[in-house]
Amino acid sequence: MNRFLSKELSVQLLRRLQAAALPTVYEADKHRLVLPDEAGREQLYFRLPLVLPPPGIVADQVNYVVLLIQAGNCAMGYFENGINLGHKVFRSYMVRKKQGKSQIKYLKTKGKSRAGSRVRLGETVEFFENINERLQEYFGEHEVHRIAISCSKTLLPYLYQSKVSTPFDKNDPRLYKIPKHIHTPIYEVLLDANKFLMKGELIYEEAQQGIVEEWLGEAGERPEEEPEA
């Protein structure tokens, strides 16, 4: 089961868990707490809003970049405490119209490239160079605490192997894979993804419903609808 919580309710729940001194394990790459049962088995997950720092860390604000990449489409933005202070959308001719398949995937199956394919490959190279140039600007102007990313494994090598380097590598501890399907990246989708990241989320089995209600207590509002993204 999934239950989405506002930032305020997430903060209240986090304080209650800390006050109760319940044993928890923090998973930095997923920005969530794992609460085991008495036998040490994983019982419940509490994904924290991205605007909250990791447990035990005191911070006045959390700065982060949201990066959404699909074949030929990218939307990115810089955020401080959930407020978008800059964004950019890129589009590129990377998809073969008849097959609806990106040029990258096509080459993996067909090999050689004709004139149209070379054009698409050239635009693919420029596409990722443009992305990394904007990322370099964000990281050069701001201190970035987290990098929320949605990008397929097929496209990731082109991001990291671009002539314009990323301001982080694939093992950067700030990286956070957005745990949600993302629609074609445009500005509105970027904002919807941020709304999702600003929510807390409890993931649990139906048998844990009672303990969830107990933790939420009087502050437990009706379960929130999943934010669209």
Do residues 25 and 121 both lie within one domain? no
CA angle, residues 222, 226, 229, in degrees to nearest 5: 155
pLDDT in tens, 99-110: 544 545 544 545
Do residues 166 and 214 both lie within one domain? no
Here the CATH number for the domain that contains residue 102 is 3.30.420
38: pLDDT confidence band, cut at 50, 70 and 90?
Answer: low
Task: Name the residue range of residue 99's domain.
Answer: 67-183
Residue 96 structure tokens: 């073969």
Domain membership of residue 162 (yes or no) is: yes
Here the CATH number for the domain that contains residue 13 is 3.30.310
What pLDDT sits at residue 22?
83
Closest listed residue to residue 185, CA positions, set 53, 122, 49, 92: 92
CA distance 24 to 21: 9
Count of structural domains, the chain: 2
CA distance 228 to 183: 10
Do residues 87 and 155 both lie within one domain? yes
Closest listed residue to residue 202, CA positions, set 11, 7, 50, 3: 3
Q: Which helix (H) or strand (E) holds 125?
A: helix 115-141
Domain membership of residue 57 (yes or no) is: no
Do residues 94 and 148 both lie within one domain? yes
User: For the ranges 100-114, 133-147, 188-202, which has the lowest average pLDDT?
Assistant: 100-114
11: pLDDT confidence band, cut at 50, 70 and 90?
Answer: very high
Domain membership of residue 171 (yes or no) is: yes
Over residues 26-52, mean pLDDT: 88
Residue 222 structure tokens: 């009706």
Do residues 174 and 148 both lie within one domain? yes
Eight-class DSSP state of 54: P
